[in-house]
């Protein structure tokens, strides 16, 4: 089942952890603020099952809850 992932760039403190744990999903803008690697303009994205473990890890590591998950 797909999972919906949302990002809240206003909360992001540019720590870089999410892209360490899920580099195929998360990337940064020029100020280090989170965005989706494949869809830089989007604030939400469906995560395929094969990537849900790494995204869950990134979600847990984000210190400011700038990554949200909904199933
Ligand atoms: S882990 Fe959270 S605070 Fe750190 S870069 Fe990613 S979204 Fe931003």
Domains, the chain: 3-70 (3.30.70.20)
Residue nearest to atom 1 of ligand 1 (CA): 62
Here the tokens at position 50 are 């094969």
With a CB cutoff of 8 Å and minimum separation 6, the contacts of 71 are 1, 3, 4
pLDDT of residue 28: 97
Q: How confident is the model at residue 2 (pLDDT cuts 50, 70, 90)?
A: confident
Residue nearest to atom 8 of ligand 1 (CA): 12
The tens digit of pLDDT for each residue in 55-69 reads 999 999 999 999 999
The tens digit of pLDDT for each residue in 12-50 reads 999 999 999 999 999 999 999 999 999 999 999 999 999
pLDDT of residue 22: 98
Instruction: State yes or no: pLDDT of 71 exceeds 90.
Output: no
């Amino acid at each position: 089942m797909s999972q919906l992932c949302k990002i809240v760039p206003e909360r992001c403190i540019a720590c870089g952890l999410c892209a360490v744990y899920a580099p195929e999903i998360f990337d940064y803008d020029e100020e280090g603020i989170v965005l989706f690697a494949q869809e830089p303009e989007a604030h939400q994205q469906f995560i395929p099952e094969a990537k849900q473990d790494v995204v869950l890890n990134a979600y847990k590591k984000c210190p400011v809850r700038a990554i949200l998950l909904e199933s």
